[in-house]
């Protein structure tokens, strides 16, 4: 990350701050599991779509995870950090394997769905540490991952027009060498 110019580093930091801001704002009791994944996936996608650095989304997830852990958001403790980093890694891997991802709704939806289902790993690990029954643990993790996937898919739908609009207005450089 030391090779990034200041402008791009600040953009990644702002994406991480917006993830935290919406996480705090949505601490309201909406009784909709997975709703915070909408903004998490959106800003992780935005970070990777606007910055051509190969680990942009992972770095943003790491910054957001460290910030969430430092602020004490959630009940997971240190498990908060991988909850932000894993979706970022999936998005970075998707951008690496699917070069035209940010121009295709279907590819963004696919990668967003996969990135959102990383919540299954986090919830399963938390429940395993708590010593839950295996059946209940699996059902809970599947339900949480399923609802997170719905909101992640919505975020995947939103990212294509936003990135295209930012590039059209010249706020983001059209094409650059991958770093």
- For residue 87, give the CATH number of its domain: 1.10.1760
Q: Is residue 103 part of a domain?
A: yes
Q: Report residue 65 as tokens.
A: 């995870």
Q: With beta carbons less than 8 A apart as the criterion, state whether 138 and 121 touch.
A: no
d(CA 85, CA 99): 21
Question: Which residue segment(s) compose the domain that 90 sits in?
Answer: 6-168
- Mean pLDDT calculated for residue range 133-153: 93
d(CA 161, CA 80): 30
Q: Is residue 178 part of a domain?
A: no
CB within 8 Å of 26: residues ≥ 6 apart: 35, 36, 39
Pick the more confident residue, 14 or 52: 14
Sign for the pseudo-dihedral over CA of 41, 47, 49, 55: negative
Would residue 177 be called left, alpha or beta, if left means φ above 0 and alpha means ψ between -120 and 50 degrees? Answer: beta
Q: Is residue 177 part of a domain?
A: no
Average pLDDT, the chain: 89
Q: Is residue 173 part of a domain?
A: no
Q: Is residue 1 part of a domain?
A: no
Q: Is residue 174 part of a domain?
A: no
Q: Is residue 89 part of a domain?
A: yes
Which of these ranges, 2-6, 35-39, 92-96, 162-166, has the smallest mean pLDDT? 2-6
Report how far apart the first and last C-alpha atoms of the chain are (Å, whole number): 10
Q: What is the total count of domains within the chain?
A: 1
- Mean pLDDT calculated for residue range 81-107: 94
pLDDT at site 178:
47
Q: Is residue 108 part of a domain?
A: yes
For the chain, how many residues are written? 179
What's phi and psi for 103, nearest 5 deg? -110, 0
């Amino acid at each position: 990350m030391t090779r990034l110019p200041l402008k791009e580093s600040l953009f990644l930091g702002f994406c991480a701050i917006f993830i935290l801001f919406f996480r705090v704002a949505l601490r309201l009791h909406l009784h909709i599991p997975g709703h915070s994944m909408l903004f998490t996936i959106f800003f992780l996608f935005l970070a990777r779509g606007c910055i051509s650095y190969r680990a942009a989304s992972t770095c943003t997830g790491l910054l957001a995870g460290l910030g969430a852990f430092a602020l004490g958001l959630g009940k997971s403790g240190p498990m908060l950090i991988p909850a932000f980093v894993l979706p970022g890694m999936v998005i970075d891997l998707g951008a690496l394997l699917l070069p035209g991802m940010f121009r295709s709704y279907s590819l963004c939806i696919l990668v967003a769905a996969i990135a959102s289902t990383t919540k299954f790993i986090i919830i399963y690990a938390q429940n395993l540490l708590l010593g839950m029954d295996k059946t209940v643990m699996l059902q809970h993790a599947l339900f949480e991952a399923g609802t997170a996937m719905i909101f992640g898919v919505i975020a995947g739908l939103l990212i294509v027009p936003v990135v295209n609009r930012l590039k059209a207005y010249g706020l983001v450089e059209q094409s650059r060498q991958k770093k």
